[in-house]
Structure 1
């Protein structure tokens, strides 16, 4: 009898473990509870491949990101999720484009490596959303329309089991003007968070990851100019990191490409707090240097702000300044950031290096700008030196 009860308890524990969400959903729930612009996208969804010949447009990619943001820590649950149309259209008066985006999400197929019922290697193809409802008329005012959707069982399973995640910034996601740049931004955010600062693949893998149709940019020089260079320009401006790539050749043919993602240094992180509040008008001119330098037009890093928002501190962010001595005492927020992002280096050693780099500018820094700058410096410190 006792043995049967133990078996029953073990079975109940296994069932509970099977139904529990992974780390990605736990982080998503925490970020959602805190509010703000940051949200977690499961690594399994970031790394999902487009079926050959299919991809998402920029507007549909943004909608998918907003769906994941809205669903938050409940994205893996078998239930509908809801969002206002006004949160999607970004100032457009009409809602006709929302219908197009929903239909595009319905018909786009994604693929992952899987196993067949015989245990053989197989490819699983599926859609991300199974059903959606869109209110036909906004009878209660221009901002009263809503959409409702449900993720497919295959998508929910991927979301639930994902242990890795990319922390993205909503304003950065909405600021991209290239779907390729947005996708590469998500990949870079995921890789940096994993402490794996590179992504490498052959041309087929690159096209599948970014959703580049095999019918376009067949010549690599075109692909470099139309996709990679444009994506790099946007990412260097809007993300909390910069991207570089190396072309690996066999003879004169590029066969593989390796992306390297590097956190921005402290001065660049400071400028991001200002840029995120600016209107997108003029952003391209600022990026190209027609108005300001590139260092003045970068976006607040999603991982940077996520690290800050994840901290529970007794002091108000607006009152935080950088102390002259040790940060181990009476600087809980700064010390916590260094421990979380400093790769195990002595936190006062990092602080001394930060003071040396910032110089007289440090006396003028406080609050959110200081926290963003300090977090970015800790990440770049580890990226340059490795772990102790």
Structure 2
């Protein structure tokens, strides 16, 4: 029987047995700030490292081991990229809001040892900060992260968008979430000052990221801007489950090489377009279509 918290009767994240290719990632490791500098490989690595620790059993003060090949972006090369990702995770401080209102600052990754790249089967031995483990042991909100989907992404922003949506995609009572523009940028991990206007963010981040996530994930998302006057001030993120045909298409795309994916998906982005439709505009259009015509 899954363990529950005594106060609320909710299932603890650590009580769920993860599948071999599906990580059960706590929201505390998904809803983070301060990860702007993390590369694609580093953002994928924290999920892989967490999943591996979850399988081995998360305990305070415990060391975990993982084959370095499991962290390589292409499976057969990239030792230096793994080393860079590990060091980046050690340098990155995340902020966790405690239930008592206090703020806890912890590293993504604690101390570790990495085998020499000359060894045919190198191993990384790693740990998590005890204060982070304490938080994760009481976690009751999580996202189901497909490891094959995670490793197939070519954009660091796609990783952040996919993992954040994965927390909600299977909920029956929730189908959208509203963010201020600054909150949405922080969620994606966009550097402060980068893509200053919504037009730039839409062109360089949202369109390519939506195309990739929607092509590979088991759910589909839309991103619609909300406005005050002519200025975009917020984002409504919506999601819905794919039908069997769409799931098959996603599976087929996962089997194809990453090379050429951008071209394959270039005509698929319809949810964020120029000129950008607002939520209010779409609602008005929907009501107009439903209204009976009068002669």
**What is the TM-score when the length of structure 2 is the normalising length?**
0.80
Q: CA deviation at 1:218?
A: 1.0
- Distance in 2 between the 1:182 and 1:245 partners? 16
Find the aligned partners of 1:137 and 1:225 in 2 and give their Cα distance.
Answer: 39
Q: CA RMSD in A?
A: 2.5
**1:62 corresponds to 2:62:** no
Residues 206-246 of structure 1, C-alpha deviations (whole Å, 9 max, x = no match):
12211111120111110111111111111110111111122
1:80 paired to 2:48:
no
Alignment partner of 1:217 out of 189, 195, 209: 195
- State the Cα deviation string for residues 135-186 of structure 1 (Å, max 9, x = none): 12433x2xx1111110112321232111121111111101111111111101
Q: Residues 174 and 94 of structure 1: is their aligned pair in 2 closer, same or farther, counting only changes over 3 Å?
A: closer
Q: Supply the distance in 2 between the matched residues of 1:271 and 1:172 (Cα, whole angstroms).
A: 13
Distance 1:112 1:194 in 2: 24
Contact 1:246 1:258 in 2 (8 A): yes
1:168 and 1:200 mapped to 2: Cα distance?
Answer: 22
Alignment of 1:106-255 (within 5 A): 106-114=90-98, 121-139=101-119, 141=120, 144-195=121-172, 196-255=174-233
- The change in CA–CA distance for 1:80 and 1:284 in structure 2 (over 3 A counts) is same
Which structure shows the bigger proportion of residues in helix conformation? 1
Give the 3-state SS of the residue equivalent to 2:127 in structure 1: strand
- In structure 1, stretches of 5+ residues that fail to align are 1-15, 295-388
Question: In the TM superposition, what is the alpha-carbon distance from 1:266 to its structure 2 partner?
Answer: 2.2
Partners of 2:252 and 2:78 in 1: CA distance: 30
Deviation readout 1:229-285 (Å, 9 max, x if unpaired): 111111110111111122111122211111001111221123334333333333333
TM-score between the two structures when normalised by the length of structure 1: 0.62
CA contact (8 A) 2:28 2:96 kept: no
Q: How many residues align?
A: 260
Displacement of 1:77: 1.2
CA distance in 1, matches of 2:118, 2:15: 35
> Is 1:43 aligned to residue 23 of structure 2?
no
Contact 1:75 1:159 (C-alpha < 8 Å) held by counterparts:
no
Q: Distance in 2 between matches of 1:75 and 1:227?
A: 36
Cα shift at 1:74: 4.7
2: distance between equivalents of 1:256 and 1:154?
A: 33
Partners of 2:38 and 2:11 lie apart in 1 by 26
CA 1:193–1:164: 2 relative to 1, 3 Å: farther
